[in-house]
Amino acid sequence: MRPPRLLDGPGEGRYRHAVEAGPAGSAIARADVARAMLDFVPDARTHGHAVGVSR
Protein backbone atom coordinates (compact mmCIF):
# COMPACT_ATOMS: atom_id res chain seq x y z
CA MET A 1 0.00 0.00 0.00
CA ARG A 2 1.14 3.48 -0.88
CA PRO A 3 -1.30 5.87 0.74
CA PRO A 4 -0.77 9.64 0.74
CA ARG A 5 -1.30 11.66 3.93
CA LEU A 6 -3.43 9.63 6.34
CA LEU A 7 -6.44 11.24 7.97
CA ASP A 8 -8.14 10.31 11.24
CA GLY A 9 -11.90 10.11 11.31
CA PRO A 10 -14.52 8.18 9.40
CA GLY A 11 -13.84 6.95 5.91
CA GLU A 12 -15.90 7.76 2.83
CA GLY A 13 -16.30 4.09 1.91
CA ARG A 14 -14.63 4.59 -1.47
CA TYR A 15 -11.12 5.03 -2.83
CA ARG A 16 -9.10 5.13 -6.04
CA HIS A 17 -6.23 2.75 -6.63
CA ALA A 18 -3.48 2.02 -9.14
CA VAL A 19 -1.14 -0.99 -9.24
CA GLU A 20 2.57 -0.07 -9.28
CA ALA A 21 1.76 3.64 -9.15
CA GLY A 22 1.66 6.30 -6.50
CA PRO A 23 -1.57 7.66 -5.07
CA ALA A 24 -3.49 10.08 -7.28
CA GLY A 25 -4.88 12.18 -4.42
CA SER A 26 -3.29 14.00 -1.52
CA ALA A 27 -5.02 12.31 1.45
CA ILE A 28 -7.13 9.34 2.54
CA ALA A 29 -8.81 8.24 5.76
CA ARG A 30 -7.20 5.36 7.62
CA ALA A 31 -10.56 3.56 7.51
CA ASP A 32 -10.54 3.68 3.70
CA VAL A 33 -6.98 2.30 3.58
CA ALA A 34 -8.12 -0.58 5.80
CA ARG A 35 -11.11 -1.21 3.49
CA ALA A 36 -8.81 -1.22 0.46
CA MET A 37 -6.43 -3.69 2.11
CA LEU A 38 -9.30 -6.10 2.75
CA ASP A 39 -10.61 -5.65 -0.79
CA PHE A 40 -7.18 -6.45 -2.28
CA VAL A 41 -6.72 -9.77 -0.43
CA PRO A 42 -8.72 -11.84 -2.95
CA ASP A 43 -7.56 -9.75 -5.96
CA ALA A 44 -4.65 -11.63 -7.58
CA ARG A 45 -3.76 -8.56 -9.69
CA THR A 46 -2.49 -6.83 -6.55
CA HIS A 47 -0.45 -9.70 -5.09
CA GLY A 48 3.26 -8.92 -5.01
CA HIS A 49 2.73 -5.34 -6.22
CA ALA A 50 2.72 -1.92 -4.62
CA VAL A 51 -0.73 -0.35 -4.83
CA GLY A 52 -1.33 3.37 -4.53
CA VAL A 53 -4.62 4.35 -2.87
CA SER A 54 -6.25 7.74 -2.38
CA ARG A 55 -9.67 9.31 -2.18
The confidence score (pLDDT) of residue 12 equals 94
Q: Which residues 6+ apart lie within 8 Å of 24 measured at CB? A: 16, 18, 52, 54
DSSP single-letter state for residue 23: -
Neighbours of 49 (CB within 10 A): 10
pLDDT tens-digit readout, 8-36: 999 999 999 999 998 888 999 999 999 99
CA 3/CA 29 separation, integer angstroms: 9
* Residue 50 contacts residue 30 (beta carbons within 8 Å): no
The confidence score (pLDDT) of residue 23 equals 85
